[in-house]
A and B are shown apart, each in its own frame.
Chain A
Amino acid sequence: MENDALRKILNRFKISDFNEICKRWPYLRNRKLDSILRLKRKIELVNRVLEIAKKDKIRRKDIAQLDLIYVHKYSKKLIWTVFQLQKIVDGTTTKALQTPAEFSSRLHKALSLYFKVDVCVRVESHAFWVRVRMCPDGPTKAASLINDVTYFVYHPHAPYLLAAKMKAAEAEYIMQAFVDVLDCKEVEELHLRGHCVNSLGQLVLNRHSQGSFSQYRLNQVDPNPLSGRTLTRKQDLPSRLSDDIVYENRQERERDEETVAETFGPNEQPTLEKIEYQMLTKFCGHPHAPGMSRDGPFHCRVRFEGPNVIEGLRNLASAGAMSVPLKTHLAKIHTSARSVFMLKNKDRRQRSSQTSTSSQHTPASQLLSQS
């Protein structure tokens, strides 16, 4: 049964990964592996590892470790949700410094109050990568060794937790366990989802140094500004069709390009695959549909999808398809640490009694202008 599960996990890897597996997986690290590294075909590699596993009686812990190596390497295949931990303010964070073993045992204890679990923790790129497997009530099948699993990424000292493949029914209990282990008041789910763990971390930890401020964070500011070098992104105005084409509105385009460069900054934008806007604003297409009623929200939803949506929106703006001045809720995506937005009309009656909406906990970011 463990062998079946091991075979499935090994088959997910590519042939070029096996070298890495031999170095990173503790089960194979201390063996003479010339026999494996010589083989060229994946089936042979997998069978060789399975032979070793049979001889040496592989344990479920080792399979969990291998699974975590796979998830760390191919983390872009899963969708990660970001949770924010509300820390206790009095500063008694004795649980902050934990070794992986301590963290693993505390988490196991906390989760065992609710479920029967198997917990595995690895340290990869300065973070704890956690694999929690829910043990089924009856006898374990090979499928459950791989399927009923949730993955978490926790950077120590950071008030954020990323989770993938968490079932909605179990979410409440798991988060309660994390509250215990990480010594915080409560855990709140942010409206932020994506495939790239690094980008999500950047969006959430470096919220206020994105866009043009990223050049300060990444040490790109020229210490000698009078030297005449420009550090903005080189953006000629080429024409795709022919070199003979001259743009008559060159000045306007350059001005727009400057605005876009200032908003988005010179660096690569963090990757978000899907950005969603729930729109509950009033209908604004009256020039073409004068008969439409002017009361009541016009419910619709807009989704931008692609490999890197923020970069795409930036390119759309520089290509001229998005008019400058850019809308705030599009220009400030990298500062808002959200991928799901709600647009509503400002309620003019309540404007005087409302406080400023700059805190993180507002459920909706409001439309700023309604021309």
Chain B
Amino acid sequence: MPQNSGVTPNVANTVRQQCSGSIASNPRSFAKQRRYTPYRKTPASRLLKDGARISRIPDDDEADNTYLKDLVNKTWRVYHVSALYKFSSQPTSLKFYSKLLATYIKAETVAGQAVETTQEAADSAVISTIPGLAGHSTSSEAISIVLNQQKKRSGASESKFTAVLCEVATAKQVRKHKSFTELPVMLVKGPVALTRHVHSWLERQFDCHISPVTFSPVDLGWMVAIYAGYLKGKSPRPVELLYKVPSEAKGLQRIIFDIDPKDCKALWDSIHAREDDSFTEEEVASFIRSLECHFYHHFAIDLSVSLQ
């Protein structure tokens, strides 16, 4: 991430203590720099109390990667969850929540059987923490919700639904309220009916709101550009761009544009210098536009247009 070059006045004190550069070692130089500027010392009434200074959190280098294997190579649906009220990650309370969820799901499936004849039911729920996924040591741990169903003949239970609630690693630490838990990102893999049930249970139980996350084409463009230069493994999968078609074209639903990963990397390398860590918007825009230009040359369809 690009380093912040400017410092706000109320952080100047902490920065002076933490950094060992030549500028900060001489306290007079700060005053010299601040002469003839509108910046003055912060009045006492505005200083943050309880020592809660907004500070940079050091990156956790010893991240545990074993649990990432369960999350990788799967298709997830992403939802945004607002703060959970009175959620505790103690093992006893998690067990209690699991039982509540299992009974709720059973009640819902029984209630829905008169109308729908779906076979999406679950017998038991397991709510547990995933130790390796917390971004920082002070933040709350990630939670996993797994719904199992026992197979009739073999008696073994198979997982029908998996959800992972986790935090986002941000540069700044948001001040937390005691009774609220922030686990904003929810990754879900499972059938639609079970997803709906789990969402309604979470909303009822913890007074939160769950909404699906939509990525704009600009965001998706950034994602493609960031991962385009990263080739790993013997047979990497192609880069797939999915375009939805305007409703005037009845009969055609979508256009899928797959690009060979090596050629994609070559294109990205030609636009963006390899050593540079920061990506600019112009680079991302040129990358996507060059791919769309290549497509236009062959099919005379402009992929960036949206018909109204």
Contact = CB atoms under 8 A, between A and B. Distances in A.
A221 interface: no
Given A289-B271, A300-B259, A316 B293 contact: no
Given A281-B298, A285-B289, A302-B299, A291 B253 contact: no
Contacts of A371: 297
- Chain A interface size, as a band, is 35 or more
A367 interface: yes
Contacts of B249: 312-313, 315-316, 319, 321
Given A304-B255, A307-B253, A240 B267 contact: no
A300 B271 contact: no
A305 B290 contact: no
Given A284-B297, A288-B290, A315 B248 contact: yes
B244 to A, nearest CB: 11
B252 A315 contact: yes
A321 B301 contact: yes
B267 A302 contact: no
B8 to A, nearest CB: 38
Contacts, number: 148
Interface string A293-313: 100001111111111111111
B245 A316 contact: yes
B305 interface: yes
Given A289-B286, A302-B256, A303-B256, A316 B238 contact: no
A228 to B, nearest CB: 30
B123 interface: no
B69 interface: no
A305 B246 contact: no
A288 B289 CA distance: 6
B18 to A, nearest CB: 41
Contacts of A298: 259-260, 263, 267, 294
A327 interface: yes
Nearest to B252: A312
Contacts of A322: 299-301
Nearest to A367: B298
A288 B293 contact: yes
A310 B253 CA distance: 11
Given A287-B293, A292-B267, A320-B307, A312 B251 contact: yes
A371 B293 CA distance: 13
A27 to B, nearest CB: 28
B308 A241 contact: yes
A175 to B, nearest CB: 30
B259 A299 contact: yes
B180 interface: no
B271 A291 contact: yes
A348 to B, nearest CB: 18
B286 A343 contact: no
A287 B301 CA distance: 17
Interface in B231-276: 238, 245-246, 248-260, 263, 266-267, 270-271
Interface centre among B251, B291, B293 (most CB of A within 10 A): B251
A241 B246 CA distance: 14
A279 interface: yes
Interface residues of B, number: 39
Contacts of B260: 298-300
B295 interface: yes
A316 B252 contact: yes
B302 interface: yes
A325 B300 CA distance: 8
Contacts of B308: 240-241
B290 A279 contact: no
Contacts of B299: 302, 322, 327, 330
A241 B248 CA distance: 13
A303 B293 contact: no
A326 interface: yes
Contacts of A301: 238, 257-258
A312 B250 CA distance: 5
B251 A319 contact: no
Contact of B290 (A285, A307, A316, A367): A285
Contacts of A291: 270-271
A323 interface: yes
Which among A279, A281, A288, A309 has the greatest number of chain B C-beta atoms within 10 A?
Answer: A288
Given A299-B263, A305-B253, A293 B300 contact: no
Contact of A302 (B252, B295, B297, B302): B295
Given A285-B289, A330-B299, A307 B263 contact: no
Contact of A306 (B245, B297, B298, B307): B245
B248 A316 contact: yes
Interface string B155-181: 000000000000000000000000000
A70 interface: no
A283 interface: yes
In the complex, the 9 A-B pairs of residues with the closest C-beta atoms, listed nearest first: A312-B252, A285-B290, A312-B251, A291-B270, A299-B260, A306-B253, A311-B251, A319-B248, A308-B251
23 contacts: A286-B293, A287-B290, A289-B287, A289-B290, A291-B271, A298-B259, A299-B259, A300-B294, A302-B255, A302-B257, A302-B299, A304-B252, A305-B256, A308-B251, A309-B252, A312-B252, A314-B251, A315-B248, A316-B248, A321-B246, A322-B300, A324-B300, A371-B297
Given A302-B257, A327-B299, 20 more contacts: A283-B263, A284-B298, A285-B293, A291-B271, A298-B263, A305-B255, A306-B245, A307-B253, A308-B251, A309-B252, A312-B245, A312-B249, A313-B251, A315-B249, A316-B301, A319-B307, A321-B305, A323-B302, A330-B300, A371-B297
